Structure 1
């Protein structure tokens, strides 16, 4: 039922995954074979190209996506570059190995009969190296299809988006559908390339000596791929997406951000003719979204005052830890040409939580005194940010028995399974209610306020004044309790962020 209700969403992800994978594969095939031939004929280039490709391949793919953001931004360009880089090694290696293994006596015989170097390559080297090249290509297909799943982290779309959204909202159906979809793509891609290997079908077609059976073995599946590509292009309609009347809304990879992103998107769609492009669940959150806002790749997203002040502006907190909104907005406008459209009304600050069964501890200080008895778990970001654990330890003498770093969306599962017994929380988290957690009092007032507000590029605000007015109407409309309830509906009741946002906006009108 969930699949059928989300069929339009899944269809879009399938189309995006197909086009991104196939586009990368075509580029990798052409460039990889070209480089493989180059390193075969040139020992100098071999000493440079092969070590370089090997080195790039050792860099974790998820890190490569992040490293390219300052250079090319987020989205399609970034994804294509990374996929091409990682797809090169098998193709270059297999091409070089295939050419190297061609018997030298055949080459000498051809040269002895007066064949030119081009004729030798065309009639001897390439045909005999082709099985090795195709073998490398089959590996590359599976690799690219799988890596395309990670492209969702930088807003490039694809089936990985379903997986990450499922992890972020604790929706198993999304995770399973996205995973099975990627697996299906990989299997079909492998089988498609495999048809070129069988009985040397490709060589037969090239030499024009193929029977109808051999031609059909290649032509039929290739025609199906072509039809699928055309269908995906028509469905996604990239030409219309470049329409000037578009706004790109982004979100961080949390349930709350998905909901807020939908509230913004639906508010625009319901009241204007502007097309909204959703870039939700971008990995790295502010670290990657803020630069993309400045470069113009993204137009609107929800940020938190504490994050903006400490991590973006890198300012020192005021003595009372209360950030002045007007000052924050003024600096954003002057420094980044970005504008805050008021605060939404809730404060999603950090907190620490333990089980309610532990009645002896109610404050951070009390937890610090008994911290050696607890295993503390939090997301990677919490251990890295200066305003989180590093700074927290300077105020409270925490000395936990063990620290567990994990994805932000897995920490509650770890708590439920007993792997950790103290966890960092956000005050609007649905799992606080669901797991019956006790949120401890920050008795030394370490954590500042993290009030949510909509940030928009000034250029977009001026271009679409009606959008600024519409979104400004959301100011103060979502309380902390309301946001926690909306998160609960997504994470526990398994409603989609779009449905929850739609109901919220409907109730807002009444």
Structure 2
């Protein structure tokens, strides 16, 4: 069972999920409650606070994570801000509604007995509005636990990491384990609030028995102990940052494998501790800014992407990137260094079922263009947006597909199997090409540039750990295109864990180096 086989990994994710979600919940509860009270007492604030929290709630959560990256980067800070913004609506609303629904005659009676504003709030408004406030807290709790799953997209960790890793590596048990973990935590969190919901009202009203008070206090102690244990378990990976390095990866099987190869090589040969930030959504778009501000230290990039999407340079007439010039520009512009090339070219390609290729005698992109009105084309969102992808490709070959389908990068092959599309973009190292018996077409007009993989690292990291450069350059030219496809096949088709695949690769590499 995957939970038993990888218990340490899931315990780490569970601890991160607890700390992120309940840390956000604590902040949201305090701020949401105070804003709700302010809105109740101030009619002017009501006119802009309530519409504002309503508006924030309408922004898709994934978009919110992305919008904050230029401002606060990736990771925990980004996650906490997004969760806070989303949790404000139910907390502010429930607090304001609960206070507003307190019966006026009770308030007037208290005023008649000489109660001041503070006494009115403490002894009348708060006890009577608490059921509504706690109802909002239950909603907020479940929502934040669930939303924390998305925080993995920006490298914050949590059980969502297992879900996205499973999606990216076609590992269904991993998806199920992560999803069940999030669901179970949300249910238990809801029950935790519900256990003392009514009792807390009586405690605040000074009407609770000793037993009820003990239950409330026990719940708080249990939560504190659980969170403390989670912090202790998570802390080692965050401690002694002077001797840690953060390795990042994009959300693909290939990148998970390469990230593990790099991380394990560093761990095996040095005393440096490695923090893994794998599967970051948005790929280069989010990873490069995080590299620039020092949140991430190194990752595997591709020459075509680095040249056009990072440096914003145009391709030369032969579509081949000048690697030496690119290295120079990275150092001058970003204080980053390419440590050479790993040995494989994972460029774009177009793929169709081999049966259709034979039926229409299609071998090249130009052949496909002649029959493109009979093909439904699917690709990831990024492919339709990038200047070096679909837009230029259509101009070059005059494609007129019957329909276009945008989807997550890891769902293209699923859509092919299900018959929703019969032409997709592919990468030349994709394992599914072999598994699904697809025909990779020849780019006869040489539209796509080369996408040779190499390790990009911040120069400050190399100064801090001078042994890294010689260590990591051992990987240069050691992974052929065929080898990378094989490694991807082991993960995506044979369902091996990227850690295991990386470990076996390094063992084989070490034995070859020793010969």
TM range, normalised to the smaller chain?
A: over 0.9
Q: Which sits farther off after the overlay, 215-224 or 109-118?
A: 215-224
Which secondary structure state, in structure 1, belongs to the residue aligned with residue 241 of structure 2? coil
Query: For 2:182 and 2:216, how far apart are their aligned partners in 1?
Result: 23
Which residue pairs with 2:162 in the alignment?
162
Q: 1:134–1:196: 8 Å Cα contact kept in structure 2?
A: no
Q: Which sits farther off after the overlay, 325-334 or 201-210?
A: 201-210
Count of equivalent residues? 508
Which secondary structure state, in structure 1, belongs to the residue aligned with residue 506 of structure 2? helix
Against the structure 1 CA distance between its residues 54 and 458, is the aligned structure 2 distance closer, same or farther, given a 3 Å change threshold? same
Is 1:130 aligned to residue 134 of structure 2? Answer: no
Select 1:248's aligned residue among 246, 249, 258: 246
Which residue pairs with 1:303 in the alignment?
301
Query: For 2:201 and 2:416, how far apart are their aligned partners in 1?
Result: 58
Which secondary structure state, in structure 2, belongs to the residue aligned with residue 204 of structure 1? helix
**Cα shift readout 1:47-101 (whole Å, capped 9, x = no counterpart):** 1211111111111110000000011000000000000000000000000000001
5 Å-filtered alignment, 1:303-452, equals 303-358=301-356, 359=358, 360-452=361-453
The offset of 1:320, in angstroms, is 0.8
Which residue pairs with 1:453 in the alignment?
454
The offset of 1:243, in angstroms, is 2.7
The offset of 1:203, in angstroms, is 2.6
Q: 2:131–2:201: 8 Å Cα contact kept in structure 1?
A: no
5 Å-filtered alignment, 1:24-423, equals 24-197=24-197, 200-237=198-235, 241-358=239-356, 359=358, 360-423=361-424
Query: For 1:95 and 1:320, how far apart are their aligned partners in 2?
Result: 64
Query: For 2:242 and 2:259, how far apart are their aligned partners in 1?
Result: 21
Query: For 1:105 and 1:277, how far apart are their aligned partners in 2?
Result: 60
Query: For 1:235 and 1:3, how far apart are their aligned partners in 2?
Result: 17
Structure 2 gap segments, 5+ residues each: none
Query: For 1:7 and 1:437, how far apart are their aligned partners in 2?
Result: 37
Q: 2:338–2:457: 8 Å Cα contact kept in structure 1?
A: yes
The offset of 1:468, in angstroms, is 1.3
Q: 2:127–2:204: 8 Å Cα contact kept in structure 1?
A: no
Q: 2:249–2:279: 8 Å Cα contact kept in structure 1?
A: yes
Q: 1:192–1:222: 8 Å Cα contact kept in structure 2?
A: no
The offset of 1:223, in angstroms, is 2.8
Which secondary structure state, in structure 1, belongs to the residue aligned with residue 242 of structure 2? coil
Q: 1:342–1:472: 8 Å Cα contact kept in structure 2?
A: yes
Query: For 2:476 and 2:38, how far apart are their aligned partners in 1?
Result: 61
Which secondary structure state, in structure 1, belongs to the residue aligned with residue 355 of structure 2? coil
Is 1:475 aligned to residue 476 of structure 2? Answer: yes
Q: Which sits farther off after the overlay, 328-337 or 236-245?
A: 236-245
Which secondary structure state, in structure 1, belongs to the residue aligned with residue 363 of structure 2? coil
Query: For 2:240 and 2:132, how far apart are their aligned partners in 1?
Result: 41
Which residue pairs with 2:505 in the alignment?
504
**Cα shift readout 1:205-227 (whole Å, capped 9, x = no counterpart):** 23444224423432333333222
**Cα shift readout 1:423-457 (whole Å, capped 9, x = no counterpart):** 11000001011111100000000000000000000
The TM-score with structure 2 as length reference comes to 0.97
The offset of 1:382, in angstroms, is 0.5
**Cα shift readout 1:245-281 (whole Å, capped 9, x = no counterpart):** 0100000000000000001100110011111000000
Q: Which sits farther off after the overlay, 319-328 or 237-246?
A: 237-246
Which residue pairs with 1:466 in the alignment?
467
The offset of 1:4, in angstroms, is 1.2
The offset of 1:361, in angstroms, is 0.5
The offset of 1:417, in angstroms, is 1.1
Structure 1 gap segments, 5+ residues each: none
The offset of 1:297, in angstroms, is 0.4
Runs ≥4 in structure 1, deviation > 4 angstroms? none
Against the structure 1 CA distance between its residues 473 and 239, is the aligned structure 2 distance closer, same or farther, given a 3 Å change threshold? closer
